Amino acid sequence: MTWAPESASGLIGAEIAGYRVERELGRGGMAVVYCAKDLRLGRTVALKLLAPEYTRNEAFRSRFAQESRVAAAIDHPNIVPVFEAGEADGVLYIAMCFVAGLDLRALLDREGPLAVPTALRIAAQLASALDAAHARDLVHRDVKPGNVLITKGVDSDHPEHVYLTDFGLAKKSLSLTGFTTAGEFVGTLDYVAPERIAGRPVDGRADQYSLACVVHETLAGAPPFKRADHLELLWAHQYDQPPALSKDRPDIPVAADEVLRRALAKIPDDRYDTCLEFVGALRAAVGGAGRSGSAPASADLPPAAPCTDQGTGAEPGAERGEEPEEPEERAEAPALPEPSPLPEPPEPPSWAGPVLRAPH
């Protein structure tokens, strides 16, 4: 088996560790993610194959194994369930729940800044996921829009359902920034906390900083720090004050600036104790702006149910219409629709690029 095929169709139809590869969903700097069929259980999964340089890196391998176990053990409605992680023919893989939707990077690229209630709902779900991980001493380390998957929610109170993915896959073992051993840059520095840049120990508050960068971007259209080159960006995270959010979004009260500033504090002790505390403070600061606004950005998300261990792609229960009330921060899964047995894989979302079907 060859990894990282030149053409996207290279692995289509191949069997890897009991999964049949059906089509490519996307690729990042360290992996290619495929939609695949679990041949033992008949369910559709997302199969992530890690690049060989990670497989060869001993530190990464052991951390991958350990953190995959921890991530798989976290049962939280806003964390993508990991079914299995292992190695087959020298390739590290993770089989996880297939989320039919799009990632937050694609949503922001498509929609630009989001309505305040939508941004708050997304932030609250991410905060809930992160706090649950932090309670188990697991730091994500790579909170960014590309690792946030969004699918249609179950009802008008929950128009979108958000999943955080890629726990334990931050590029720590190669270097902070994602420079490969060949010196190529493969990641983003837009969301990285100052203590990571300084090489100091990180805890959940580093994720809070990254979450605040993401929240800033969902509301302002760009992360707080944009600089011409990587070094300037690193410097800005370390030393520059973040811009006031209310300058880009006049509909947001200035009280929100202080909340963002605190979550983006250079020193972790100066931040909120938890991510939910941060998002709660933000919701209080935006006041009425958090309850008004245009239709949710999820209006044309593909229909899909939240991930379950069965990996079903059942239809959501309700139509959406009026602007929903802002939900409470949720630590519980919304009511799931009845699972249907062994469904066909959902139609690929439009953002999935070229659609390649497995041979029958």
Ligand X SMILES: Nc1ncnc2c1ncn2[C@@H]1O[C@H](COP(=O)(O)OP(=O)(O)OP(=O)(O)O)[C@@H](O)[C@H]1O
- Closest to ligand X by CB, 118 vs 165, is 165
Of 156 and 308, which CB lies nearer to ligand X in the complex structure?
Answer: 308
Residue nearest to ligand X (CB): 28
The answer to the question of residue 188 lying near Mg ion (CB under 5 A) is no
Name the one range near Mg ion by CB under 5 A: 82-90, 164-172, 268-276, 314-322: 164-172
The annotation status of 152 as a binding-site residue, yes or no, is no
Give Cα separations from 61 to 204, 216, 227, 265 (angstroms).
23, 33, 33, 33
Q: 211 contacts which partner out of ligand X, Mg ion, none, CB within 5 to 8 A by kind?
A: none
Which residues, at least 6 apart from 315, have a Cβ–Cβ distance to it below 8 Å? 303, 305, 337
Residue 46 touches which of Mg ion, ligand X, none (CB < 5 to 8 A by kind)? ligand X
- Please give the backbone phi and psi of residue 154, each rounded to the nearest 5 degrees, phi first: -90, -20
Tell me how far, at minimum, the Cβ of 104 lies from Mg ion, in Å. 11
Count, residues near Mg ion per rule CB under 5 A? 3
Interface residues toward ligand X, by CB under 6 A = 25-31, 33, 46, 80, 96-99, 103, 146-147, 149, 165-166, 187
Distance (Å, rounded) from C-alpha 232 to C-alpha 26? 29
Report the alpha-carbon distance of residue 272 to residue 268 in Å, rounded: 8
Q: Which is nearer to ligand X, 46 or 305 (CB)?
A: 46
| The one catalytic residue among 142, 166, 190, 207 | 142
Q: What angle do CA 244, 185, 72 make, to 5 degrees?
A: 80
Nearer to ligand X, 96 or 139 (CB): 96
Contacts (CB under 5 A) with Mg ion, residues 16-35: 28
CB of 329 to ligand X, least distance (A): 23
Contact flag: residue 166 with Mg ion (CB under 5 A): yes
147 binds Mg ion (CB under 5 A): yes
CA distance 273 to 352: 37
CB of 26 to Mg ion, least distance (A): 9
Distance CA(306)–CA(100), nearest Å, equals 9
Q: Nearest CA to 122 among 337, 294, 326, 285?
A: 326
DSSP 43-111: -EEEEEEE-HHHHH-HHHHHHHHHHHHHHHH---TTBPPEEEEEEETTEEEEEEE---SEEHHHHHHHH
**Looking only at residues 248 through 287 of this chain, which bind Mg ion when binding is defined by CB under 5 A?**
none
Q: Can 142 be counted among the known catalytic residues?
A: yes
Identity of the residue, 187 or 290, whose beta carbon is nearer to ligand X in the bound complex: 187
Residues that bind Mg ion (CB under 5 A): 28, 147, 166
Catalytic residues: 142
Binding residues for ATP: 48
